[in-house]
Amino acid sequence: MRWCKLLVAGVTLAVPAVLAGQDPNFLLPVAEIGRILREGEFEVLDIRPSRGLPGERTYRATIQSGDHLLQVKYAPAPEGGDEFNNRPRYELAAWAVQKLFLDERDWVVPPTAIRALPLDVVQATLAAAPGDANLPPEQTFREWPMTLVALQYWLFNVEVPEELPDGDRLEEDEVYERLLGNFNLLTYIIRHSDSNQGNFVQSTDPSRPRVFAVDNGVAFSSEESDRGTRWRDLQLDRYAASAIDRLRTITGEELQANLGVLVQFEIRNGNFVEVEPTENLDPGRGVRHDAQRIQLGLTDSEIRALHRRIVRLLQWVDDGRYELLP
């Protein structure tokens, strides 16, 4: 594999270059990125506020896992693991929902995972970020000195679009229309309620101008943002038939099975590790735990509301309100 140079905190590091035929927004296969985020051992080489301002809630970190170098969004959870604009379970749910109706090459949420990290490790990591007003991490649960941290792959070769949608391109470029439609289907289904600039980015690849949703913490049953909620609604006239056909096959039972328990941790040798989900400890709560386990997922009511949005969308299609792209 060819390598290129990346300058991080004054140190020149080697990262794999994009090869012909490789997705320019990902420097590793998506499956390998997901594995590293979920379970890989990693070292944080550099960390700084996501938008370059001190006191931010999220950070941009450069991590090394074995021979792999990645940049990620690093977002510690609040106490209790759930508050407005900081709900890691919503970030993970958005990542999971897209996989129910889109193929991997069309996914619009970058690989996302949640880790249960020792509190002292997270404290030391954030202490290395520049600035005098960095927010100290909170202990997620009083019972254990640990913090849940949401990790999301930081995309390459993307930019914040000046205009979304680009009306002229929408009329002339069916590939753009299809990719934007996939993005919009996801934002509608998850009820994305924060159109803040920077929450959506677009690939600079002219042949595949995919639009990504990179901040999905204000969604589902969340309160809405004061930055607008445009993409909570369907904005286009046509959507890909393949995505609509996949949505038709989704049942309420499948949604419960996939979204009720998104991730589960258990104590092993004094640390929390991710394990295969067991029974839902409390379907009425999104964050659940007992003496040995932690679960994050959507609540029953959130899943039912999501299913209703899908059913409503399909009815609109059948009524002719939206056309299908072959």
Q: What pLDDT is attached to residue 132?
A: 61
Please indicate, yes or no, if residue 147 is contained in any of the structural domains: yes
Residue 3 lies in a domain: no
For residue 228, give the nearest of 186, 200, 189 by alpha carbon.
Answer: 200
The tokens 């159109």 sit on which residue? 195
70 DSSP β-pair partners? 63
Task: Assess if residue 15 is contained within a domain.
Answer: no
Return d(Cα 4, Cα 213) in angstroms, integer.
27
Mean pLDDT by 10 residues, the chain (326 residues): 40 50 89 98 95 81 97 97 95 98 98 97 93 79 96 97 95 97 98 94 97 97 92 98 98 98 95 95 97 97 98 98 97
Give the pairing of strands 59-65 and 43-49: antiparallel
Does residue 70 fall inside a structural domain? yes
Q: What is the pLDDT of residue 135?
A: 73
CB 71 within 8 A of CB 61: yes
The reported pLDDT for the residue numbered 4 is 37
pLDDT, position 1: 34
In a domain, 16, yes or no: no
Task: Please state the domain count of the chain.
Answer: 1
**Domain contains 13:** no
Give residue-wise pLDDT tens across range 77-116.
Answer: 999 999 999 999 999 999 999 999 999 999 999 999 999 9
Q: Which residues contact 243 (CB under 8 A, 6 or more apart)?
A: 101, 102, 106, 181, 182, 185
CA dihedral 41, 2, 74, 122 (to 10 degrees): 40
Range(s) of the domain holding residue 66: 26-325
Alpha helices in the chain, H assignment, sequence order: 30-39, 88-98, 119-127, 167-172, 174-189, 241-248, 252-259, 300-318
The answer as to whether 2 is a domain residue is no
Q: How far apart are the first and last CA of the chain?
A: 37
| Single pTM value for the model | 0.93
Q: Does 17 fall in a domain? A: no
